[in-house]
Chains A and B, each alone.
Chain A
Amino acid sequence: MGDYTNAELMAAAIACELTDDDFAAVGTASHIPVCALRLAQRTHAPNLWFLYGGSGALNSKAGSLVEMAADFRNLSGAEYRTPLQDIIDFEFTGRFTTLFLGGVQIDRYGNMNMVAIGDYARPKMRGPGTVGLAFTASVRKVFIYVQHHDPRLFVEKVDFVSGRGHSGPEELADYRCAWAQGPTWVISPLGVMDFETPDRRMRLRSVHPGVTVADVQEKTGFELAVTGEVPTTPPPTAEQLRIIREIDTSGVLRR
């Protein structure tokens, strides 16, 4: 790999998908998305807003990327301290355009599980809980972000639906808010996926430099849709890298 890390590449790749009219929100373990949001603000999306998790900070300008989203130091340079009431209101009413979510299992339609692997009553693995994943049906778009990529995470079918992807009986569609587009992108350390297929199955959108389509397929527990030649995720430009490192002063994305 060149003179950047995979985490820096992922930050640049996420930033590319963000737009100037976005109002995004992140939760725990969000160094990479937060770096991406701040990078977007400083490049093509100066009007983007973002909520930094439990800290409540809107448009945090913290001096470094910290390990805890709820760290109150994320309020440094922020424009508002959002109480939970506002956060939940923004989630229900679709004011958030992009919510960064993840899961302990994710399936081919973007269903996300944060509750339990195996039998619900006696799970093999008890997850932390659904938190805000039900809002997949009420925010405008969901960006699924994960820090690893293996067949235990990307499974054929989730054991519990915390956040609904693009599957299920037709009548369920009525329960989704009119503006909600559901999971739109997935980013992992191996590539970027989307759901731009006729039946909304997960499609490999790009592979990160040095990764092949076969590599990603091998680490995925279901068949990924592939349309034509899969491009390589563009590496960060020199300018992007300079800004990323101005945001990430403590170098957490370089570890």
Chain B
Amino acid sequence: MSLRKSKIKSLTEAVADIPDGSKILAGGVHLSNTPMALVRQLIRRGVKDLEIIPTPATGLWVDILIAANAVRKIYVSYIGLEFLGLAPNFRRWAEAGRIEVVDVDEPTIFHGLRASASGLPFVVFPPIHLLTDLPKVSPQIYKSITDPFTGKTVVAVPPLQPDICFVHVAKADVYGNGLSLGGRHMEDIITKASKRVILSAEEIVDNAEFCADPTRTTIPGVLVEAVVHAPMGAWPGACPGVYDYDRSHLLEYNEIAKKNETASYLDRYVRAHADDASMIAALDGEQLSRLRMPR
């Protein structure tokens, strides 16, 4: 009898074969559960020309990748820093025409991913987008068609399929089962929609923990290619149920980014370290422990 295979990889191994030009999605909503360790490792590798398919409301990871000159094209529903306001690098590069922006919105990204996840050729909406300027600026996405059942005008949007998706969770096992303590947002959809799924987790737990309460599993390991143990892997964002977002660091990032000095930030927090573990170890441990939530 052969043994069940572990999917554990190091951070470096997990992103080693992601080619330039890949379509990338990193999970999470706003500053919660964003897989920052995996994103930082992509920057260390110097990956270029990425096509970003973000979740409908996010920003930090995209802003950092843009500043690292890693992005060629981006689909936009909401790219911002939540309570901190606009994402400075996204704003600057979009205003200068240095990245290709495809304006879409929340239902277009969600249902585009769902179409890919479910194998649907496209998705049809009631024609609410025809009341906006989105079809004018993104005609390749919004196609008016006739509803074959009612004869009315409806709008078709295409599937969106990331090559790679990163998801960060509080707990995972070696087989790729994942548990988000903040509950399900759309991880079930994005993991099904993407060709390859790389999971990072704060903690690797025994498979028995998942089997003891399978109703709490948020990602089934069958969809996952690799699992990375990445403590503080969502920092400086939050990992719900494990630690809070690092407010003072985010303020620092925002100020640096607004001054167009993100390159120095990347040198200090990303490129100066071979991987994320050494970067996290170099941070103020007391400050990090203040972010942790009571178990």
- Contacts from A to B (Cβ < 8 Å): 27-29, 54-56, 67-72, 75, 81, 83-85, 88, 91-92, 115, 120-138, 160-164, 168, 172, 174-177
Query: Which of B43-51, B90-98, B202-210 lines the interface with chain A?
Result: B90-98
Which residues from A are CB-within-8-Å of B126? 92, 138, 175, 177
B19 within 8 A of partner (CB): no
Name 26 interchain pairs, CB-CB below 8 A, sorted by A: A28-B83, A56-B185, A67-B83, A84-B29, A85-B110, A88-B106, A88-B110, A115-B133, A121-B97, A128-B59, A128-B78, A129-B78, A129-B79, A130-B77, A132-B107, A133-B132, A134-B105, A134-B132, A136-B128, A136-B131, A161-B133, A162-B105, A162-B132, A175-B128, A175-B130, A177-B126
| Binding-face segment, B1-9, B237-245, B253-261, B271-279 | B237-245
Q: How far is the CA of A91 from the CA of B77 in the complex (A)?
A: 15
Is B131's CB under 8 angstroms from A164's CB?
Answer: yes
Asked whether, in the complex, the Cβ of A131 is within 8 Å of the Cβ of B105, the reply is yes
**Chain B 169-188 per-residue mask, 1 if CB under 8 angstroms from chain A, else 0:** 00000000000011111101
Enumerate the 7 nearest inter-chain pairs by beta-carbon distance, A residue then B residue, closest first.
A72-B240, A164-B131, A70-B30, A128-B80, A81-B183, A137-B128, A130-B105
Known: A124-B95, A134-B128. 13 other contacts (CB 8 A): A28-B83, A54-B57, A55-B182, A83-B188, A85-B189, A88-B110, A122-B97, A123-B95, A128-B79, A128-B87, A137-B128, A138-B128, A175-B127
In angstroms, Cα B80 to Cα A138, docked, is: 25
Which residues of chain B come closer than 8 Å to A120, judged between CB atoms?
Answer: 137
CB-contact partner of B32 in A71, A127, A160, A172, under 8 A: A71
Smallest CB gap from B240: residue in A: A72
Contact assessment for B110 and A84 in the assembled complex, using a CB-CB cutoff below 8 Å = yes
By size class, the interface of chain B is 35 or more
- Least Cβ–Cβ distance between B142 and chain A, in angstroms: 10
CB-based contact A125/B95 at 8 Å: yes
In the complex, which of the residues A69, A70, A136 has the most CB atoms of chain B within 10 Å of its own CB atom?
A70
Contacts of B125 in A (CB 8 A): 92
Given the complex of chains A and B, what is the CA–CA distance between A163 and B131 in angstroms? 7
